[in-house]
A and B are shown apart, each in its own frame.
Chain A
């Protein structure tokens, strides 16, 4: 015969949390794979220009970035509000760019050296003068592959 359990003394068993770490790890791995590390902390304000014919940069290891824009608020006191260039983590001058590219290229694997791409991340309100200077410096450094970073434009 079926036994009839006694009432009372019947607690809801605690939900096992043993699988919680697994779930979190899964999330963790997802984020690790799908994202990339921030290259640097921006010291300049950059609102990328908009365009439609965009190509994505495939190999991150072949790309070096040049940031162009006005210094962020906290640096304005020291560096003024004139448009500046940032290479890696520091402000730089256009004259340093050529040297920087050459140095970065030498640090690269020999087979990849001519695949070096320079991504110019510039603010949309930048004047072309400084961009032209950058382009000339890149030409002198023989870094001819450039990419003008932009965001997708939805509509006019």
Chain B
């Protein structure tokens, strides 16, 4: 007998199989990338310990209160969320060295290997307090505005110094800017405001 030819496998159903797989993946997967506001929580307090009273000068604290009706009280004054960013920026920057805004402290910063002393408001704290009845969306909005304030300040500085956006800088330069504008958002230990329950 001569050589028998191996019969070719019919590949026409291959497309159907591939389609099946494709549809399976289309259904079970999601396109969206997870995005969100990244924050760091403070480490837990040791049990049976009173809250340590950290001594912060009054001028260094920026208090943001959100009540259960989603209204803001910033530094004792009611404010709209849209104005919060500007107010926070003024506070963090304290360009005019106002006595009611945080004190300026000289800090040594290394820009590209050259040490410089820059006046910063490194002792400032933004204190965010909210009620248990506050809506989550409002809370995120407030957090967002505060982070935006820092990001804008950092961006401005990056543009002025390096002519680039903050995100595009390398790590050392980002670190340098971070020492000038350290992000200090503190979330208070939960308390009940508003009296209900």
| Residues in A lying within 8 Å of B, measured CB to CB | 17-18, 20-21, 24-25, 27-28, 31-32, 34-38, 49-57, 60, 63, 117, 119-120, 122-129, 131-132, 135-136, 138-140, 142-152, 156
Q: Please indicate the chain A residues that have their CB under 8 angstroms from the CB of B37 in the complex.
A: 51, 53-55, 147-148, 150
In the complex, are the beta carbons of A55 and B38 less than 8 A apart? yes
* Chain A interface SS verdict (over half): mixed
Count residues of chain B with CB under 8 A from any CB of chain A. Answer: 46
| Residues in B lying within 8 Å of A, measured CB to CB | 11-12, 14-15, 17-19, 21-22, 25-26, 28-31, 33-44, 82, 130-137, 139-141, 143-144, 147-148, 151, 187, 190
In the complex, are the beta carbons of B39 and A146 less than 8 A apart? yes
In the complex, are the beta carbons of A49 and B140 less than 8 A apart? yes
The 7 lowest CB-CB distance pairs between A and B, nearest first, are: A129-B132, A35-B29, A24-B18, A124-B137, A21-B14, A51-B144, A128-B134
Selected A-B contacts with CB under 8 Å, 5 pairs: A21-B18, A51-B37, A55-B38, A128-B134, A150-B36
Instruction: Kindly provide the distance from the CB of A35 to the nearest chain B CB, expressed in whole angstroms.
Output: 4
In the complex, are the beta carbons of A24 and B144 less than 8 A apart? no
- Given A25-B18, A139-B44: A150 in contact with B135 (beta carbons within 8 A): no
